[in-house]
């Protein structure tokens, strides 16, 4: 198969398997999505979705969030892990949103990545899922699968994102990155990977794995 044929196979297979792609993290607006994505670092979406209702019941906007202390935030989000860093990030970014952006989440990669505890991947998720701006957030699932499928060299997530954006049509990025995540969780896990069930790997994957 040519690389383009492989890309087309991936697109068609994922569209058949996941025609609908609901956002995995529960949210109601850009701010609650931003906080949920920040909490998801090294934590499962399922766990984040059990913690955010507790946090958002007290503060679902930056104005209420800064009324809480960092310690109060940390005590609520502790089950998500990395709570000292995440609680400081949530408190700090909430202040910046109020001081610089009228309490609103900016629709800009540059401004998002200036916020505490917000990296490029988090900014990409917010831009794509909250504002429908084309982006291709690369998490561990996408990084792993793109390498298994022979579509990137697996050197780092930066290269994987460049390769994904180069190979896949821009109009598909926002949906496709979610489809790959869903596929990775169901068919191509990091642990307990059953190659026989991995439809895409068996068709186009690296034979040396």
In percent, the amount of the chain with pLDDT more than 90 equals 95
Average pLDDT over residues 146-170: 95
Q: Rounded CA gap, 37 and 56, in Å?
A: 14
Closest CA to 1 of 168, 149, 147: 149
**Percent of the chain whose predicted confidence (pLDDT) is above 70:** 99
Instruction: Determine which one of 6, 74, 86, 121 is catalytic.
Output: 121
Cα 33 to chain centroid, rounded:
10
Q: What are the extents of the domains in the chain?
A: 3-21+136-204, 30-129
Question: How do residues 15-43 score in pLDDT, each as one tens digit?
Answer: 999 999 999 999 999 999 999 999 999 99
139 part of the active site: yes
Quickly tell me which residue has 């390769």 as its tokens: 163
Q: Is 121 a catalytic residue?
A: yes
- pLDDT at position 209 is 59
From the options 3.40.50.720, 3.20.20.10, 1.10.340.30, 1.10.3720.10, give the CATH code of 30-129: 1.10.340.30
Token pair for 27: 């949210």
Helix axes 173-187, 157-167, angle to 10 degrees: 120
Tell me the per-residue pLDDT of 114-143, one tens digit each, with 9 for 90 and over: 999 999 999 999 999 999 999 999 998 899
- Residue 206, pLDDT > 90, answer no
Span 148-169, mean pLDDT? 95
Domain 30-129 in the same topology as domain 3-21+136-204: no
Average model confidence (pLDDT) for the chain?
A: 96
Q: Which two tokens stand for residue 188?
A: 């191509």
- The one catalytic residue in 45, 88, 139, 175 is 139
The confidence score (pLDDT) of residue 154 equals: 80
**In the predicted model, what is the mean pLDDT of residues 157-174?**
97
What is the pLDDT confidence band of residue 208, given thresholds at 50, 70 and 90? low
Tell me the CATH number of domain 3-21+136-204, given options 1.20.200.10, 3.30.43.10, 3.40.50.300, 1.10.1670.10: 1.10.1670.10
pLDDT at position 52 over 80: yes
Distance (Å, whole) CA 5 – CA 206 = 15
Residues near 101 by Cβ (< 8 Å), separated by ≥ 6?
111
When pLDDT is averaged across residues 61-84 and rounded to a whole number, the result is: 98
Range with lowest mean pLDDT among 87-91, 181-185, 205-209 = 205-209
């Amino acid at each position: 198969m040519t690389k383009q044929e492989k890309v087309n196979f991936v697109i068609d297979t994922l569209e058949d398997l996941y025609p609908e792609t609901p956002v995995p993290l529960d949210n109601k607006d850009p701010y609650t999505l931003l906080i949920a994505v920040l909490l998801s670092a090294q934590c499962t979406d399922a766990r984040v979705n059990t913690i955010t209702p507790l946090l958002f019941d007290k503060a679902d906007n930056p104005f209420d969030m800064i009324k809480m202390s960092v310690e109060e935030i940390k005590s609520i989000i502790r089950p998500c892990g990395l709570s000292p860093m995440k609680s400081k990030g949530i408190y700090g970014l909430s202040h910046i949103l109020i001081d610089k952006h009228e309490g609103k989440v900016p629709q800009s990669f540059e401004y998002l990545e200036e916020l505490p505890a917000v990296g490029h991947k988090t900014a990409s998720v917010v831009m794509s899922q909250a504002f429908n701006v084309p982006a291709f957030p690369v998490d561990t699932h996408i990084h792993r699968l793109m390498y298994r499928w022979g579509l990137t060299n697996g050197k780092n997530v930066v290269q994987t994102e460049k390769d994904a954006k180069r190979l896949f049509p821009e109009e598909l990025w926002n949906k496709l990155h979610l489809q790959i995540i869903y596929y990775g969780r169901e068919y191509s896990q990091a642990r307990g990977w059953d190659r026989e069930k991995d439809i895409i790997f068996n068709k186009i994957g690296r034979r040396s794995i």
